[in-house]
Amino acid sequence: MCDRVAVTGRVRRFSGGVYDLGRHVVWCPKYRRPVRGGRVAERLDELIRQKADERGWEIIALEVVPDHVHLFVKHDPKSSASYVANQFKGFTSRVLRSEFPHLRSRMPTLWSSSYFAASVGAVSVVTVEKYINTQWERPGKKDKAAPG
């Protein structure tokens, strides 16, 4: 699918339509134990960017703090919030635990099973609501009550 995507401003196009989907995703280490250490944090950043690139997703913002990760990512409409979060969590856990043995010995798993995800868009809830609720008031629209 990525080979068919053309980026035009904020909107991405593909054979099935157009979209502009952003997601704020946050996840934490198991027991919120800090895993950040100079090289671990650097490698985590690299791995997140690598996975996004592999999937054709765009990272808008990324911050690795001692006990959690904040990520703002633009992704395709076929990828659910859980899929996006678990792609990053699973991949980074597998690689980091193989490259940094101390992460295997301190925790049974690297990341908590939970995550936070929120949609992020260029248009506010109020704007969308107003747009939908005023459809019949726009020029060229037939009267809502008139027979079709």
Q: Half-sphere exposure (CA, 13 Å, Cβ side) for 19?
A: 17
pLDDT of residue 85: 98
Per the model's pLDDT, the better-predicted residue between 60 and 106 turns out to be 60
Indicate the pTM of the whole model: 0.78
pLDDT of residue 80: 95
C-alpha 27/C-alpha 57 separation (Å) is 18
pLDDT digits (tens, 9 = 90+) for 118-136: 998 877 778 877 877 888 7
Domain layout of the chain by residue ranges: 2-137
- Structure tokens of 32? 């919120």
- What CATH topology corresponds to 2-137? Alpha-Beta Plaits (3.30.70)
Confidence tier at 141 by pLDDT (50, 70, 90)? low
Alpha-carbon dihedral of residues 64, 97, 59, 67, nearest 10 degrees?
Answer: -20
C-alpha 52/C-alpha 50 separation (Å) is 5
Cα dist from 131 to 4, 20, 93, 127, whole Å? 30, 17, 43, 6
